Structure 1
Amino acid sequence: MILAVLFANSVGNILVERFHGVPSEERLQWRSFLVKLGADNLKGVKNEELLVACHKSVYIVYTVLGDVSIYVVGKDEYDELALSEVILVITSAVKDVCGKPPTERRFLDKYGTICLCLDEIVWKGLLENTEKDRIRRLIRLKPPTEF
């Protein structure tokens, strides 16, 4: 299961978060842990260079894209290899929406569309869609033509 997807700015403020199967009392701990992890390790990292961590039997894959840090947390069948696929789909969708690696301002300008993309990619803790064209069609809120 994909437990969390978080986006944070360069100073550690959460821009978007999605938790699945994580009790609300644990979410603050995860937020602070992930932001601290990023602050310690993301300095000087190139865009889309993937970093991996393991904590409490869960896997964390994270990267930086422009001014935004992206964290994906998973367990069980979502190990570091599966999470790397998830984060690549997410970064690709964000780049498509923003037109380039985003600044914090551009990310917030496209906030609604990014949230729609995120909901189409990860649904209830599972990887739902990976195809760019399908995600692009689904975020226009029109029904898909093929079944």
Structure 2
Amino acid sequence: MILAVLFANVEGNILIERVELEHCCRFSGVPAEERLHWRSFLVKLGADNLKGVRNEELLVASHKSVYIVYTVLGDVSIFIVGKDEYDELALAEVIFAITSALKDVCGKPPTERLFLDKYGKICLCLDEIVWKGLLENTDKERVRRLTRLKPPTEF
């Protein structure tokens, strides 16, 4: 299961946090202070390891029986947290789909300003790629069609 998708800026401020276990009271039922610990852990992980990393170069970590795949794209750090069947290889596919959609929406690796300008469209793309903790769509063209807010004409 994909537990969370998190985007942060270069200062470590969270731009988007998608926790995929909403029905389980966020982050698998853990209290707010534990969620804060996870956010802090991910931001610190990025601060420690993402300096000097090329765009879309994947880094992998594991912590408390979950896998974390993360990268940087422009001024935005992207973290994907998963467990069970979503190991580092499956999460690499998820992050590839997300970075591909993000580049498509922004037209280039995003600055923080461009990312925030395209916030709504990015959220729509995330909803089409990851749904209820599972990878739903990886095809960039399909995600683009589904986020046009028009009924699909083909399946």
> What does the per-residue CA deviation read over 1:75-119, in whole Å, with 9 as the maximum and x for residues that have no partner?
000000000000000000000000000000000000000000001
- Matched residues in 1 for 2:60 and 2:101: separation? 21
Structure 1 letter corresponding to 2:75: D
User: Any unmatched runs of 5+ in structure 2?
Assistant: 22-26
Higher mean C-alpha deviation, range 137-146 or range 37-46? 137-146
Matched, 1:99 2:107: yes
Deviation at 1:144, TM superposition (A): 1.8
- Matched residues in 1 for 2:37 and 2:86: separation? 21
Give the percent of matched residue pairs that are identical in Structure 1 and Structure 2: 83
Equivalent position of 1:11 in the other structure = 11
- Matched residues in 1 for 2:71 and 2:54: separation? 8
Matched, 1:86 2:94: yes
Structure 1 letter corresponding to 2:114: R
TM-score, scaled relative to structure 2: 0.92
Deviation at 1:146, TM superposition (A): 2.3
Equivalent position of 1:129 in the other structure = 137
Equivalent position of 2:24 in the other structure = none
- Matched residues in 1 for 2:7 and 2:97: separation? 14
- Matched residues in 1 for 2:84 and 2:126: separation? 21
User: Any unmatched runs of 5+ in structure 1?
Assistant: none
Structure 1 letter corresponding to 2:140: K
Three-state SS of the structure 2 residue aligned to 1:60 is strand
Instruction: Name which of 69, 76, 82 aligns with 1:68.
Output: 76
Q: CA RMSD in A?
A: 0.9
- Matched residues in 1 for 2:151 and 2:84: separation? 32
Residue pairs, 1:18-29, within 5 angstroms? 18-21=18-21, 22=27, 23=29, 25=32, 26-29=34-37
Question: How many pairs are equivalent?
Answer: 147
Structure 2 letter corresponding to 1:111: Y
